Amino acid sequence: MFCRVIFIVVALSFFTSPSAQATEIRIKNVSQRDYENLEVNGKEFGLLKSGQITEYKSFDTAFRFAGISLKIEGKTYYMSPRDFVGEPMLGDGCFTYLIGLADPKRQNDFEGHDGSVSANKRSGEFMDFRGGLSIKAVEEKCPKA
């Protein structure tokens, strides 16, 4: 009987751990401005003040960059990837998306600036110069459940 209880406890902890079966993502605002109506890949995060980090949310599928929409003082900013062809999924685990404002002065550091999302292979950062946003996915150690 004791062995059954131990097995059930271990099994339940495996399935409730944030890193066990999902991609967990939180967002950090790395700009000097507050974000309103923040939405990432269809999930609402709401208001995110400068420097703040959200709680983790589960995603079925996630990549190093994402579809993003937010407002700053009434102006809409976005990242609108055309597709994710050739882009590997992040996979199970915990990640933080560092979301900031795109810097047009750095455009030459990025490949593929055709009006869609551009990549800097050295830094792992992506920018959408048309939509005005930058993103970098950073893998984190998952918090204990």
Express each pLDDT in 25-47 by its tens digit.
999 999 999 999 999 999 999 99
CA dihedral 51, 91, 133, 106 (to 10 degrees): 100
With a CB cutoff of 8 Å and minimum separation 6, the contacts of 140 are 26, 93, 94, 95, 96
Express each pLDDT in 65-88 by its tens digit.
999 999 999 999 999 887 777 888
Question: Among candidates 36, 68, 69, which has minimal Cα distance to 50?
Answer: 36
Where do the domains of the chain lie?
Answer: 22-140
The CATH number of 22-140 is 2.60.40.2890
- Cβ distance 69 to 39 under 8 Å? yes
